[in-house]
Each structure stands twice: as C-alpha cells, then as structure tokens.
Amino acid sequence: LFCAGAFAAFETMPDHVMFGCCLVVFFCLLRGCDGNCPAMCLCVSDTVCCSSTGLVKLPMFLPTFSMTLDLSHNYISYLSAGSFEKMPRLENLRLASNQLTSLGEGVFQNASGLRILDLSSNRLHVVEQHYFHGLWRLEELLLYNNKITQVESSTLTGLSSLKKLYVSLNQLTDFPFFTIQDHSHPFLTMLDLSSNRLSSLPWADIKALPSLVQRGLYLHNNSLVCDCTMYSMFWHWQLRGYDTLKDFTDDHRCTIYGERRATITFLRHTRFFQNCTLEKAVSQPVTVYLSTVTVTEEETIHLDCHTSLKSMDLSFTWKTPGKGYLTPASINDTLITIFPNGTLEMQSVRVNDSGMYVCTALDVKLGVNATREVNVTVSLPPPESFNTGYTTLLGCAITMILILMYLYLTPCRCSCCKQPKPPSKTIPTYDRSSFSSAFTASIREQPQVYSDKHVAFLEPMMSQQGLHKINHIDFLLQYIVRRNNTLGAL
Ligand SMILES: *[C@@H]1O[C@H](CO)[C@@H](O)[C@H](O)[C@H]1NC(C)=O
Ligand SMILES: *[C@@H]1O[C@H](CO)[C@@H](O)[C@H](O)[C@H]1NC(C)=O
Ligand SMILES: *[C@@H]1O[C@H](CO)[C@@H](O)[C@H](O)[C@H]1NC(C)=O
Ligand SMILES: *[C@@H]1O[C@H](CO)[C@@H](O)[C@H](O)[C@H]1NC(C)=O
Ligand SMILES: *[C@@H]1O[C@H](CO)[C@@H](O)[C@H](O)[C@H]1NC(C)=O
Ligand SMILES: *[C@@H]1O[C@H](CO)[C@@H](O)[C@H](O)[C@H]1NC(C)=O
Ligand SMILES: *[C@@H]1O[C@H](CO)[C@@H](O)[C@H](O)[C@H]1NC(C)=O
Ligand SMILES: *[C@@H]1O[C@H](CO)[C@@H](O)[C@H](O)[C@H]1NC(C)=O
C-alpha cells in the first residue's frame, strides 16, 4: 500500500528511483524507522535528495544513515550549530545554490566524516577561520560563485586531506598562500582562484608552494598588474607545460601600470617583458620527450632534438652511448652530423651504437635547457632475408652453369648431327628482349649456336600467341623437356 502511495505521489519520477525509494522505505519500516525521509525529499539507499524543493531551512528530521545529502537549489539562508551532528556517516553534502551569507560557529561539528562539501553559488562574504574546523577528512571544497572578498588566514589549517579547492568567481583581492605547505596539505592538487580580483600577489609565497599545488593553480581572469616578477612565475609554469596555462592562454591578462584600459594577454604578447631578467630556471628538468627508434645495421638514423624550447637560438649537445658527448664543433667522424636544428644524423649504424641518446638544447640567453631522449635499438638484418638472397644467387649461378654447359659441352658437336634450318620467317618473330640479360648476353656471344639450337624448340611454340611473355623459367623448362635426353646425359 505504501509503495502504491509512493508510486502515485512520484508518478513523474523514473521507475528505478521509485523502486529504490520503496526499498528504502521498506527497510526503514523493517528497521523500526531510525530516520524519517522528509515528505518533500527522495531517499534512495544511502542518499537523501531534497534539491529544488523550495526548502527555506533544514528539514527537522533527516535519515541518520545517509552518506549523501543534497540540499542544492533551495532557499536555505541559515544553518544552526550541529545541523548535521545526527548524521555520523555523512560524506557528501551539497548546499549549492542557496542563500547562505555566512556560517555560524559549529555548523559542521560532529560531521567530521565529510569528504565533499559544496557551498558554491551562495552569498558567502568572508570565509571565516572557524567554518571548516575539524573537517580533517574533507577532500573537495567548492566555494565558487559566491561573494567572497576574504579567506581568513587559518581557514585551511587542519584540512589535511584537501585535494581540490574551488574559489573561482568571487571577489578576492588576496589569498593566504603561505598557509599551504607540503606537510600541511600534502594532497592538494587543485587551487582554483580564477575570475577574482587579484592584482598584486605575494609571488615569493606562490613560488614556495608545493609543486603539485603550483601545477594546479588557476589564476586566469584576474586583474593582475603586469610586472617582471609576475611574468617570471608564469614563464616558468609555461616552460613546464602546465595545463592551467595551456587551457586558458587567452584568459591570462594583466594591466600595464595598473591601468584598466591597457590590458594585454601576457602569455601571447611577451614584448612588454623583453627587458625582464628572468631568473635561471627551476631545479627540475623542464620537459623530457622520450621516443624510441628501431633500425637495422647499416641504415642511417636521424634523431631530432625537438624540445619544449622554442627559441631559434639554441645550442645542442648529444650524449651518445658509444661516442660520449657530441657537439657540432667536436665531431671528427664523417659518418656523424649534427644539423643546425639539432638533428643528429648517423650513417651506417652498428649494433653497438644502440642505447640511449640524450640531446640537451640550451638557450644560452635565458639559461634554460631542455632534453630529449631517444632509445635507439640497432638490430642485425633478419637472417632469413639473407638466406633467401643467398639461395637465389646460388640457384642462378647453377642455372647459368647448366645452360653454359649445355651450350658449349653438348655431345652433339659434329656437323652431321646439325638439324635442318628452320623456315626463315620464324626467327624475326622471336622476341629476344623477353629473356633476362644473362641469357641475352650468353646468346649474343654465339649467335650461330643460338640460331642453330633454338630452331628445334622454337618451332612448335610459334603456334602460341604471345610467346614473348614466357619468362625465362618457362623457357628453361621447355628447354629441359625438349632436350631431356641430352640433360639426362648431362
Ligand atoms: C559531538 O561530539 C562531541 C565531542 O566532540 C561529543 O561529546 C558529542 O556527544 C557528539 N554529539 C553527537 C550528537 O554525537
Ligand atoms: C571573468 O571574471 C568575471 C568576473 O570577475 C566573470 O564575470 C566572467 O564570466 C569571467 N570570464 C571568464 C571567461 O571566466
Ligand atoms: C626595454 O629597454 C629598451 C632600451 O632600454 C627601451 O627602449 C624599451 O622601451 C624597453 N621596453 C620596455 C617594454 O620597457
Ligand atoms: C662498434 O663496432 C665497430 C666495428 O664493428 C667498431 O669500429 C667501433 O669502435 C665499435 N664502437 C663501439 C662504441 O664500441
Ligand atoms: C677524433 O679526435 C680525437 C681527438 O680529438 C682523436 O683521438 C681521434 O683519432 C679522432 N678520430 C678521427 C676519426 O679522426
Ligand atoms: C633538421 O635539418 C635537417 C637538414 O637540414 C633536415 O633534414 C631535418 O628534417 C631537420 N629536422 C627537423 C626536425 O626540422
Ligand atoms: C641543464 O640544466 C640543469 C638544471 O638547471 C643543469 O644542472 C645542467 O647542468 C644543465 N645542462 C646543461 C648542458 O647546461
Ligand atoms: C630501450 O629499448 C630497448 C628495446 O626496446 C629496451 O630493452 C630498453 O630497456 C630500453 N631502454 C630504456 C632505457 O628505456
């Protein structure tokens, strides 16, 4: 009956949701109803869904066993202390698109199991330091699209499991970067501060951020002030090929002398920074392209030194397994060349030339380098192909000997055995060019013998059209069949 009622009530819901709902209600009845599903919500196994239900405050009773609570797209403007303390298994709390302007003390007390907390698209102003106190398991914190002007400096303290923090689309003018360190937030890989009002940032603090955080730091669409310190930071990130810059190249803008009208997309128009002294690079290697080349002995290899460095003025050094370091100036081997573009050419490579070839491209002006590694494997030519060639050659030689023997050593040398001459018209129709050059050569040496010998075997073949198409093997076979007596003697 209850299920029927539920079906009637949620006629528009998908079947499986209703089925799940009924199951939950059924189990709930069996277990003595330790959590009530609020009338306007949908409760499915461990999930309570109250989104878009017009709630203005948290429902009085919520199922205590739920792990996911979705309250998004409502009108909740206030959460009291301990709102979620009766939900010890709560991991995923969705409060997006509500009317929250602030959070009181202890809202999330006894909810330390939270892993995902979505407070996006609310009206929060200041993220106070007590907001997320005790949420040491929190992995994702979504605060984008609020009206946040300030994140208090110890807000992130204690959020030691944090992986992703989204504070995009707010009105921040600064951010406490210094509170993020390797040991305090070891798993943080995403810090989205894009589309705020950041202008001058503490670049020294940002430079000290763990490299995982730097790799996932989004700062585009802010009103940064163009200066060398700022550019230097982005230049290094660009050199390291971070996606944060690649994906939003045109959204990285800065204002010259803070003048709002003079805005440049600084990753594209670098002319403004031409007088900046960019600090010597980065402790870690810039980019390593790894590739493999497989060739057989005696071939020529071309290994290109294409790296992340785009300058036209690079110097190249190749480290080779057999010949040590090679530069264009140091080579005295005629088989090896390094082209101006860094490409290494090695002619007739040997098996012992195999190994790892490492090219270092050095931008002398900027003092950065990048490497490219190529794993070269030189193998011996496959033995079968050699054998096949050899066998064919041997076969040809034997055939030649047989034919020469036939031509010169036939027992029938006396004039009495000569066969009568054929009608003269058959000779011109014979196409000599169909024979291999070897045959032709031997035949031409003895034109007399040739015409004499062939009369006997050519004559019957004249009846066939397209004699010239017969290849030399057929020719030989015909020959053998015709003169098998003689061959038998041979
Ligand atoms: C909340 O946690 C405190 C200690 O941190 C504990 O004393 C209290 O009983 C808990 N409340 C609930 C409802 O579990
Ligand atoms: C840039 O930020 C402004 C607000 O600061 C926002 O309205 C706009 O949508 C953002 N643009 C992009 C491309 O994110
Ligand atoms: C760079 O220095 C040159 C020579 O000192 C100067 O003419 C030029 O305006 C400077 N460029 C910028 C962008 O400051
Ligand atoms: C490789 O072998 C060739 C002879 O086969 C020899 O001349 C050359 O020095 C060897 N190279 C190395 C690096 O051992
Ligand atoms: C190349 O130069 C080195 C010394 O720089 C010399 O020992 C070697 O014999 C030279 N090799 C050839 C092939 O000229
Ligand atoms: C480098 O130059 C050589 C010779 O000019 C050319 O054969 C080769 O394709 C070039 N390599 C690249 C990657 O441009
Ligand atoms: C390349 O850069 C690294 C680190 O900056 C440095 O240790 C190394 O000596 C440089 N290599 C060359 C060939 O300049
Ligand atoms: C290079 O390639 C060979 C064969 O593909 C492989 O056995 C070897 O481990 C590779 N070396 C490196 C350093 O990757």
Q: Is 362 in the pocket of ligand 7 (CB under 6 A)?
A: yes
Q: Are residues 76 and 162 in the same domain?
A: yes
**Total residues belonging to the chain:** 490
Which residue's CA is the nearest one to ligand 3's atom 7?
275
Residues 6+ apart with CB under 8 A from 72: 51, 52, 94, 95, 96, 97, 98, 118
CATH number at residue 128: 3.80.10.10
DSSP states of 258-276 as a string? Answer: G-TT-EEETTT-GGGGTT-
CA gap 488, 240 in Å, rounded? 80
Cα 253 to middle of ligand 2, angstroms: 12
Q: Are residues 169 and 204 in the same domain?
A: yes
Name residues contacting ligand 2 (CB within 6 A).
195, 221, 251
Q: Are residues 96 and 118 in the same domain?
A: yes
Cα 159 to middle of ligand 1, angstroms: 20
* Residue 475 buriedness (CB in 10 A; 0-12 / 13-18 / 19+): middle
Q: Are residues 300 and 375 in the same domain?
A: yes
Q: Are residues 217 and 87 in the same domain?
A: yes
Q: Are residues 113 and 21 in the same domain?
A: no
If DSSP codes are grouped into helix, strand and coil, which group holds residue 466? coil
Residue that terminates a domain, selected from 357, 379, 401? 379
Q: Is the pTM higher than 0.85?
A: no
- Do the Cβ atoms of 487 and 406 come closer than 8 Å? yes
CA gap 401, 376 in Å, rounded? 45
Name residues contacting ligand 4 (CB within 6 A).
322, 350, 352
Q: Are residues 13 and 111 in the same domain?
A: no
CA gap 124, 122 in Å, rounded? 6
- Do the Cβ atoms of 353 and 346 come closer than 8 Å? yes
Cα 304 to middle of ligand 5, angstroms: 25
The contacts found for 81-88 with CB under 8 angstroms, 24 or more apart, are 81/105, 81/106, 81/107, 81/109, 82/106, 82/107, 82/109, 82/110, 83/58, 83/107, 83/108, 84/108, 84/110, 84/111, 85/109, 85/110, 85/111, 86/62, 87/62, 87/63, 87/111, 88/64, 88/113
Residue that terminates a domain, selected from 230, 258, 279? 279
Rg (CA), the chain: 43
Which residue's CA is the nearest one to ligand 8's atom 11?
375
- Do the Cβ atoms of 60 and 84 come closer than 8 Å? no
Residue that terminates a domain, selected from 327, 357, 379? 379
Q: Are residues 27 and 56 in the same domain?
A: no
State the ligand closest to the CA atom of 363: 7
Q: In total, how many domains does the chain have?
A: 3
pLDDT tens digits for the chain (490 residues)?
A: 343 444 444 444 445 544 444 444 444 444 434 457 999 999 999 999 999 999 999 998 889 989 999 999 999 999 999 999 999 999 999 999 999 999 999 999 999 999 999 999 999 999 999 999 999 999 999 999 999 999 999 999 999 999 999 999 999 999 999 999 888 898 999 999 999 999 999 999 999 999 899 999 999 999 899 988 898 899 889 888 899 999 999 999 999 876 777 888 988 888 888 778 775 544 433 445 567 788 888 888 889 888 777 777 888 999 898 888 888 888 888 889 999 888 999 988 889 899 989 898 888 777 777 888 888 888 888 765 555 556 666 766 777 887 778 777 765 555 544 555 544 444 444 444 444 444 434 444 444 444 444 433 444 444 444 444 445 445 444 554 455 554 444 4
**Does a structural domain hold residue 230?**
yes
Ligand 2 atom closest to 251 (CA) = 13
Cα 344 to middle of ligand 6, angstroms: 9
* Residue 365 buriedness (CB in 10 A; 0-12 / 13-18 / 19+): exposed
Q: Name the one residue in this structure whose structure tokens are 């210094």.
A: 178
Q: Is 275 in the pocket of ligand 3 (CB under 6 A)?
A: yes
**Does a structural domain hold residue 460?**
no
* Domain range for 92: 41-279
Q: Are residues 195 and 215 in the same domain?
A: yes
- Do the Cβ atoms of 201 and 222 come closer than 8 Å? no
- Do the Cβ atoms of 449 and 489 come closer than 8 Å? no
Which residue's CA is the nearest one to ligand 7's atom 8?
369
Q: Are residues 253 and 335 in the same domain?
A: no
